[in-house]
Amino acid sequence: KIFRNTLKYLQSNEFLLDVDLWRLFANLEELNKISISFLKTFFETVKEHVSKSDSPMDFSSILLKFFQGDLCQTHQIYCLNYTSAVFYLENLRQREDFCIYLKQWCEQNKECKRLHLRELLVAPLHRLTRYPLLLNNIWEKSTDETEKSLIWSLKEKVERSIRDLEGKVKWLDNFQKFRQLQEVIIWPQVWDRDKRFFVPECLKQSLRENNSENLLSSANRLLLHEGRLTLAESTRLLDVYLFLFDDFLLITKIKRNKKKYGGSDTGFIPVCTSLTPELQSFIREGGFCTVLDQPIPLDRLILKNIDPIHITGMCPCASEYLQKCIGYRQSVAIFLLQAQTETAKKTWMSQIEMAIANYTMQQKNKESTAFFFPAESTEI
């Protein structure tokens, strides 16, 4: 209430008018009303039972009213907004005026008990997960079989609601991450990537329209591992950032260009909090990842370990070797990558090997399914 009402007060005095209350607090006001109503009704029933010891304690009607009503649904709405609220909050924290509002107007209030807004915003998520525990405790103490059956069914309903919510939150988190990656990863045109190709101007427009930027828009694709490595070229060492997805590996070159990001010079760069801290920091500095080579499908990737002592003129870092093949096992590219530590190298190698194994297994399952369930003939 302190953070929300203070922001309302400041906006009524024409400060922080561009800050969106809903994006930060969602339906928190409605959630508070329903939660307080549930607690009051709950404790009034307990109080009545204590004052009249002969009267039975009827929890059934209260639990039915709230748990079959709006209590869980209101929590779900808030929880689904939580990830984007934290994302929005972290972006706002880059602003001086918003930090003044947080630190001087709110956090110094004794009622906040030195808690920050992000720590308070997560409280309703914890509340929702405690409801099954509450229902289970009531179920254990209940003596009436009909009431026990009702309470148990409500507990299962709330647990299903939480499981369903977890799936939705993971999907939204993944969607937010991939949307950020689409903005950060730059896909150069083929004539920029390889100077050997001559492309007439009349063809460039049609090639631009068939770009690869939407490759990361698939909601089903997963990012398994990512991080910074060093790529050994013939004359230099190049800083690269690798993205290992569940179906391909993407090698990008680290580049800094503040003006290109969103075309803004304000320095206010939105960064998804589900990205790695290293990538978040890199993006805030105005960083980009330019695709170095086309994505490498995992079924066209060969991974080998190389002892650095066998590589002349390179620093003694842990090394790994990637070989990209096309059909008929013909090698079309080789990437010699170095990790800063032996641990990082082993992590990368295990992640890639596991991804290749899983992808190969999925492809085999698809082939076996297609064998047993052939597609309908086009002649029918």
Instruction: Clarify whether residues 179 and 245 are in a common domain.
Output: no
| 373 in any annotated domain | no
In a domain? residue 155: yes
Q: Are residues 61 and 177 in the same domain?
A: yes
CATH number of 162's domain: 1.20.900.10
Beta bridge partners of 337: 231, 320
Please tell me the distance from the alpha carbon of residue 6 to that of residue 101, in angstroms, as a whole number: 8
CATH of residue 223's domain is 2.30.29.30
Residue 278, CA distances (Å) to 5, 271, 335 in order = 35, 12, 23
> Does residue 33 sit within a domain?
yes
Same domain, 97 and 72: yes
**Cα-based distances in Å from 130 to 28, 60, 124, 127:** 18, 18, 10, 5
Same domain, 18 and 148: yes
- With respect to residue 16, please indicate whether it lies within any of the assigned structural domains: yes
**How many domains is the chain built from?**
2
Range of the domain at 348: 190-204+219-257+273-366
pLDDT tens-digit profile, the chain (380 residues) = 899 999 999 999 999 999 999 999 999 999 999 999 999 998 988 888 888 766 667 778 888 889 888 898 899 999 999 988 988 898 899 899 999 999 999 999 999 888 899 999 998 988 899 999 999 998 998 888 988 999 999 999 999 989 888 888 888 778 878 888 888 888 887 777 766 677 777 777 776 655 555 677 666 788 999 999 999 887 888 899 999 999 999 999 988 765 444 334 444 455 666 677 778 777 777 788 888 888 899 988 888 888 766 665 554 454 555 666 655 567 778 888 988 888 999 999 999 999 999 999 988 887 766 555 555 444 43
* Same-domain status, 148 and 238: no
10 with 67, same domain: the answer is yes
Same domain, 179 and 292: no
**Gap between the Cα atoms of 179 and 270, Å rounded:** 11
Whether the CB-CB separation of 317 and 230 falls below 8 Å is answered with yes
Question: Residue 372 falls within a domain, yes or no?
Answer: no
- How many of the other CB atoms lie within 10 Å of CB of 53? 6
Regarding whether 197 and 66 lie in a shared domain, the answer is no
156 and 277, same domain (yes or no): no
| Residue 374 in domain | no
**The amino acid at 268:** F
214 within some domain: no
Q: What's residue 276's pLDDT? A: 77
Q: 238 and 112 share a domain?
A: no
Same domain (yes/no): 162, 54: yes
154 and 200 within one domain: no
HSE-CB of 301 using CA atoms within 13 angstroms: 28
Q: How many CB atoms lie within 10 A of CB 187?
A: 20
pTM: 0.63
Q: Is residue 209 part of a domain?
A: no
